[in-house]
Each structure stands twice: as structure tokens, then as C-alpha cells.
Amino acid sequence: MPTEAQIKSIPVKDLHFDHGNPRLAEYGIESTTPEKEILITLWDAMDVLELVQSISASGFFPHEALIVTEEGGRKIVIEGNRRLAAVKVLLNPAIAAANGWEIPKPSKAVLDTLRNLPAIMASRKESWRYLGFKHVNGPAKWTSYAKAAYIAQVHRDFKIRLADIAGQIGDRHNTVQRLYRGLMVLEQAEREKVYDRADRFRQRLSFSHLYTALDYEGISEFLKISPKEAETVSPVPKGRIKELGELLVWLYGSKKEKKEPLVISQNPQFSLKMRFFRPNVTSPQHAPI
């Protein structure tokens, strides 16, 4: 990463949200999503209000510089989208008014300091180790799905082996490999058209259910899945694609088929349920797991 000496002051009007941010991908953000919709998503899903309150009272801490990359002639914030959203709302209270958000009114002195924000200019390739450590294995962890999406992005875009990603971010528990395999299994099911995550019964995609389940011997044997150390985009063999669809319906249910998921949440009973996995149950008894 660049040093503090390379921090620049960039006008907020020139800074844009990152459509490729793996956290935003969980909420259906695509390359064509308008920035005003991204701001609303950040506010609703990622508690931007707490940052609005903090920045309104104390200003923007200069040591928390954004990380910005130049792409397509635009300055894209690849680290600090929540902070950018908070500042945009404070500088333009009409956004809050239009959405019914109650926000504090900062002093003119604070507002004047927010029109330009400290930023480190760096490419995605220069930044991935820092972001990976911070959000996959470090103090500001993303959700399991966002972690998996980021790992897959780094592996695909920069041709870095999973083991090397794990080593660079200090992962000693095979978390990188487990997350990647889980995402590849989900994407494989969608490519093979045996499951569509949009058809899941509940609004939230509990990705941790999937990547955790794949470690259990019964599930692994049922799918004949590749080991987590394999760097394959198709971990499930062709002969087990139908079974993969069954597993995902079992884990996530299906709105179309009006099937609720058997797994509701994870607690100590989760391992017991995985151990006695029976994929062909048509009317599973739901347990609080």
C-alpha cells in the first residue's frame, strides 16, 4: 500500500461508489445500478447513520483515508463506501429528507472540512492484501458471502493461488479455500440450472450454511465434492448435479416449490443435523438450527 505521504485531498463530488464491492453484490447491486440506489442500500443495510452521527460531531478522521482507484476516467472508492455515503448525506441533507432519514446538523466548520476527503490512490491489485486482511481475516470482517466473492475476485482477476491468498492475509484455518469452494458450488448449481439463489425461500442468503455444510463427511460423500484445496470452478462432478440441487433446496428452500429450508439458523445442533443429512426428505421437520 502507498504511504501516508501519498494521501491526496479529493473533492467528494469526484468520488464514486464501487459497483463491484463484494458487500454490495449481496444486495443485488450491478454495474448499471444508479448511485442514489447504492447510497440507499448502504444506509439501509450497513448502518451508515452511526457514521453520520460520528462525522457530524467530530469530522472526518484524516488517518482513515479512503482508498481510491481510477477506472474509466472515474475515481472509484474501493475502501470506504460507507464513509463516503455518510459524507454525501451530510453535505446534501435533501437526500435524507427525501428518504425520511433523521440526521444531525453539523456545524459549518465541520461541513467545510467534508467537501474534500483524504484518499490514497491505489489500484485494486495494489490494495487486495490490505483489504483481504482487514475484511476477510482481520478486524472489520465482511459477511461470509462478501468474503467469498472477494476471494474469488482476487483469484480470478490477479491469477493468485488460493493458498497464496490465505498466506498473504494470515489465514491459517483454510477459510479462504472453504469460502471459495462454497461460492463455486453455488455458482455451479446456477450454471447447471438446478438451483437459483433468487428462488430461495427466505430473503437472506445464509451463505455460511453452505460452505460449512460442505465440510461434513455426509455432505461431502453425497456430492462427491472436490477437496477444498482444489482450485476448480466446478467442485461437484457431473454425475452429482441433481444431488447438488437437492442439497440447496434443503438448505435454502424454494419459493417456487413452496418448500421451506430445513436449516433455519446455525447453533450447536447444526453439526448434528449435518451428520444425519437426508436429502430426499419431502416434508422435513424444521428444527431451530
Residue 281 belongs to some domain of the structure: no
Cβ contacts of 194 within 8 Å, gap of 6 or more: 241, 242, 244, 245, 248
Last residue of a domain, one of 122, 137, 154: 122
Q: In the prediction, which pLDDT does 262 show? A: 81
Residue 288 belongs to some domain of the structure: no
Taking only the tens of pLDDT, the chain with its 289 residues reads: 545 548 999 999 999 999 999 988 888 899 999 999 999 999 999 999 999 999 999 999 988 999 999 999 999 999 999 999 999 999 999 999 999 999 999 999 999 999 999 999 999 999 999 999 999 988 788 999 999 999 999 999 999 999 999 999 999 889 999 999 999 999 999 999 999 999 999 988 899 999 999 999 889 999 999 999 999 999 999 999 999 999 999 999 999 999 998 876 655 455 555 555 555 544 444 333 3
**Number of structural domains the chain divides into:** 2
Residue 178 belongs to some domain of the structure: yes
Whether residue 107 is found in the same domain as residue 209: no
Q: In the prediction, which pLDDT does 263 show? A: 72
Three cell numbers written together for 115? 467537501
Q: In the prediction, which pLDDT does 286 show? A: 39
Residue 282 belongs to some domain of the structure: no
Cβ contacts of 252 within 8 Å, gap of 6 or more: 195, 197, 200, 201, 202, 205, 206, 209, 261
Whether residue 170 is found in the same domain as residue 268: yes
Q: In the prediction, which pLDDT does 278 show? A: 56
Q: What is the CATH number of the domain that holds 66?
A: 3.90.1530
Residue 285 belongs to some domain of the structure: no
Q: Rounded distance, CA 73 to CA 110, Å? A: 29
Whether residue 73 is found in the same domain as residue 158: no
Nearest to 112, CA basis, from 181, 19, 9, 185: 9
Whether residue 221 is found in the same domain as residue 171: yes
Residue 177 belongs to some domain of the structure: yes
Give the domain range for residue 204: 128-275
The one-character DSSP state at 29 is -
Q: In the prediction, which pLDDT does 287 show? A: 37
Whether residue 117 is found in the same domain as residue 148: no
Q: In the prediction, which pLDDT does 88 show? A: 98
- Alpha carbon 11 to chain centroid distance? 27
